[in-house]
Each structure stands twice: as C-alpha cells, then as structure tokens.
Amino acid sequence: MRIGEVCKIEWKDLNHEHKTVIVRDRKDPRKKEGNHMIVPLLAGSYDLVKKQSEKDDRIFPYNSRSVTAGFQRVRNDLGITDLRYHDLRREGASRLFEKGYSIEEVAQVTVHRNLNILWQVYTQLFPHKLHDKFDE
C-alpha cells in the first residue's frame, strides 16, 4: 500500500477473524472519496499490526511525510541512492507473483484497481524462471 494509506488505517477497520483491513478513500484519479477496499494482511503483517499500541484511533499514528523523511534519512545514512519507499511496493508485488499468486490476487494486496497498470509496471518476467515452473 501507499504510505499515506497505511498511516490512515484505523483500528475499527481491522478484521481479526479474516486478518484484513479496510483501506478507505484509496487514491483514484476519477473518484476522490468512497474508494474503500478490503486488503488481506499476509505473512507477518497481521502480527505486526497486533503489536501496535491502541492508544490512538489509527493503527500506525504517524504523519506519512515524517515516515517518508525517516525512510530517506536511513536510506541516505546507508549510502543507498536509488531506492524509494514506493519501490518496496513493487518488490512486494513481484514476490507475490514469484510465489504464484494471480494478478487478481496481487491486486487485492497492492490495492490496484487497474490490472493493466499492475501488469505493466509491477511484473518482471524472467524467461529462465519458466524452466522451474515447467519442471514442477
């Protein structure tokens, strides 16, 4: 998800039974409000949410600009010059594709409504990997 979306998720949007959250008012060029989407919390993300303090209405009560600035500061301290926070979203999507998730399933996690954008921007096909899939 986008960092702004993560920082806006509230405790009331968490479904413990299904390990999902509602991402409200997602970015959409056609519609500014009412773009809600249910997103699964895969791998350790649900456990990470459970570790957060419930002192605020939001699960991650941070200003998204502060998170971005902190990410940039750490990145720069490590001498990494070619990594943006948004690149982590692409990495996550690529890993899901590598695990065999369908484009529709990945879209549920990355919160993409336009599958063409997801396909064109986030997938990287490696011809040599087809051998592994064929051998299975």
Residue-wise pLDDT for 1-32, tens only, equals 788 889 999 999 999 999 999 988 776 656 56
For residue 76, what pLDDT is reported? 96
Q: Which residues pair with 39 in a beta bridge?
A: 21
Q: pLDDT at position 130, please?
A: 65
> Encoding tokens for residue 10?
């509230």
Domain segments of the chain as ranges: 1-62, 84-136
Question: pLDDT (tens digit, 9 = 90+) per residue, 54-77?
Answer: 999 999 999 999 999 999 999 999
In 3D space, the residue among 34, 35, 38 whose CA is nearest the CA of residue 13 turns out to be 38
Query: How high is the pLDDT of residue 128?
Result: 66
pLDDT score, position 27: 66
Q: What is the pLDDT of residue 126?
A: 59
Each residue of 80-130: pLDDT tens digit? Answer: 999 988 888 888 888 888 888 888 888 888 877 777 777 776 666 556 666
pTM, two decimal places? 0.72
Give Cα 106 to chain centroid, integer Å. Answer: 10
The angle subtended at Cα 58 by Cα 53 and Cα 60, nearest 5°, is: 65
